[in-house]
Structures are given as C-alpha cells and as structure tokens.
C-alpha cells in the first residue's frame, strides 16, 4: 500500500493491514457480475490475468505513452536529498534526463551521455539502441544514478501484466499540485524490481517512484512541473569533450 505520509517513499511492511486489491475496480457487465456473485470467484482472462488488474496496468501504460506527445519540464527530489530533472520537447522531438554528475540526451539522431562531474564535461554519442529492454540501454545508466525514467517504468508495468501472481493496488493522490494515479505492485519475479510504487499524473508525466530497481534504491518525487522546458537544458555542457561512436556513413 502506498505510504501517504510522503509520496514516493517505499511501501509499508506487509504485516500492516492492507486495503483490498483493486480499490478502483471497474464496473463489470451485469451478466459477468452476476456470475461472479454466484461463484465467489474473480474472472480471469486467457493469460491468467484478472481483468481489473490488467486494466489498471494497461491504463497506466497508456498514460505514460500520452506524455511522449507533449512538452514538459519536471523536477524531482531523489534519494539522499539530491535532485533530478526530466525535460521533453516535441518539435524537434528530444528528451533529456539530468541527475547529479551526468545527463542523457535522446533525439532521433542518437543518445548522448555526458559526465558532468568532471571539467570539462565528457560526452559520448551513440546510435539509438535496437528495440529491447530499457534497462539494457542508456536508460539503465540513468537508473543507476537514482532517476527512473518512463521507459523503465513501462517495462516494469509490462512485466506485471505478464505475471498473474503479481498483486496490484491503486489509489489517487496529489503531488506538486498535480492529480496522479498510483499503483503499488508486488510479487514480481524475473524483473528489474520485485515490487514498486509508481504514480503518474493525468497528463502522463511520472510523478513518483519508490522501489529497488536493478539493485538501486529509487525514491523519486515530483516537486515542480511546467509545460515549457528551458531551451538550455537540451544543449551539451559548455566546453564538453565529445566523442561520436555512431557508425560513419560511407563516402559517396
């Protein structure tokens, strides 16, 4: 269950009293509802997933996808009291993830990872990774610095959708003045996280995340958000040493 004392903190112990799963359960069709009342069982889809659980996970995945279609600039408080930022533009399409000591810029031309903890900063440009788990791409490096990203969350939600033993609980909260839907997921196996709590705003922006992802403790909470990201956040650090690892196009 989500700890409402401070959004973004890890869930309480399971010895605590738990509210029923699917607090926001959908209204099923009358015939199906009657069958459930008679049998005392919950309907299961062909893949073994309860429909309410599948709906909650699917709805949040769709929310995250909606955010990819709009500009925004979000600031977060991370574990240890440090800060991170996620910024996105749509024209041109690009996004940047900034964390203490580094940043990752993603655009259609590739991924640029910069180490900003040294002077001058060092940046490496690589081609966009092939489709696959986000943890195996540049997003995994961002997570290792305590900032979780939407692609990582999307993979975790997908893992929860595929594992019928996972529990899901939902509730609504307000974070940084934004209405957000939260899911607490537990009981995952063979995933980057065994359990986590994630909140997403109505606009699809990640509002908070708490859990251990790939062995890294994540405690991330939105503190401020705007619809106009500063242009300078998409620029490379001044004076940075840049190495381009992308394959060179053959000479004509």
Does residue 184 register a pLDDT over 50? yes
**Per-residue model confidence (pLDDT) at position 183:** 97
Does residue 41 register a pLDDT over 60? no
- Greatest alpha-carbon span in the chain: 73
pLDDT, tens digit, for every residue of 97-110? 999 999 999 999 99
Q: State the Cα–Cα distance between residues 97 and 87, nearest whole angstrom.
A: 7
Mean pLDDT of 41-63: 69
Residue in this structure with the two tokens 């001058």, named with its chain if needed = 120
**Per-residue model confidence (pLDDT) at position 50:** 54
What is the average pLDDT score of the chain?
Answer: 83
Residue in this structure with the two tokens 């939902």, named with its chain if needed = 170
**Nearest CA among 145, 174, 133, 128 for reference residue 84:** 145
**Per-residue model confidence (pLDDT) at position 227:** 92
Does residue 137 register a pLDDT over 80? yes
Q: Domains in the chain, ordered, with CATH?
A: 50-244 (2.50.20.10)
Contacts of 11 (CB under 8 A, 6+ apart): 1, 2, 3, 184, 186, 195, 197, 210
Task: Give this prediction's pTM.
Answer: 0.77
The percent of residues in the chain predicted with pLDDT above 70, rounded, is 79
**Per-residue model confidence (pLDDT) at position 5:** 43
């Amino acid at each position: 269950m989500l700890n409402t004392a401070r959004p973004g903190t890890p869930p309480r112990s399971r010895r605590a009293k738990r509210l029923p799963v699917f607090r926001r359960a959908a209204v099923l069709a009358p015939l199906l509802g009657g069958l459930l009342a008679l049998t005392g069982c919950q309907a299961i889809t062909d893949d073994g997933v309860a429909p309410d659980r599948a709906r909650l996970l699917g709805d949040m995945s769709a929310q995250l996808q909606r955010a990819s279609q709009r500009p925004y600039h979000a600031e977060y408080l991370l574990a240890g009291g440090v800060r991170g930022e996620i910024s996105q533009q749509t024209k041109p399409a690009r996004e940047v993830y900034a964390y203490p000591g580094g940043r990752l810029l993603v655009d259609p031309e590739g991924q640029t990872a910069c180490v900003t903890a040294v002077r001058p900063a060092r940046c490496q440009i690589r081609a966009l990774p092939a489709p696959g788990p986000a943890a195996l791409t540049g997003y995994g490096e961002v997570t290792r610095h305590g900032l979780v990203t939407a692609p990582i969350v999307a993979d975790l939600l997908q893992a929860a959708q595929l594992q019928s033993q996972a529990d899901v609980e939902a509730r609504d909260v307000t974070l940084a003045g934004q209405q957000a839907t939260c899911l607490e997921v537990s009981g995952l196996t063979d995933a980057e996280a065994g359990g986590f709590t994630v909140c997403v705003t109505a606009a699809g922006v990640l509002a908070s995340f708490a859990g251990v992802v790939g062995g890294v403790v994540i405690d991330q909470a939105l503190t401020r958000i705007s619809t106009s990201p500063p242009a300078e956040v998409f620029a490379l650090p001044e004076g940075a040493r840049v190495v381009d690892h992308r394959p060179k196009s053959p000479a004509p």
